[in-house]
Amino acid sequence: MKYALIKNNIVEQISYPFVDGWEEVADNVFAGMVKKADGTFDNTDEVKQQIENNKQELINRENKKASGRQKLKDLGLDDDEINELMGA
């Protein structure tokens, strides 16, 4: 079980041992989350934006890797040579 100190509907702190006056919460609740009117918890808009940015960075990195791989093929390298160069 996990307990949260909630102020103004924002999870301020998390504790695993029971603390008097703190609310019991699910294991997927973390400090900084917002408690919604229905009693569920969600990430703040800032955290959601960071998650989205990280996803986009991963997509961009994979696209660049594929583009680089294709450029090496266009130069005449075979898959084994490309894998050796890219450490794959």
pTM across the whole model: 0.65
Residue 79 Cα to chain centre, angstroms? 32
List the structure tokens of 82: 């490309």
> Which residues of the chain have a pLDDT value below 50?
none
Task: Measure the CA dihedral 73/79/85/88, to 10°.
Answer: 130
Q: What is the pLDDT of residue 87?
A: 83
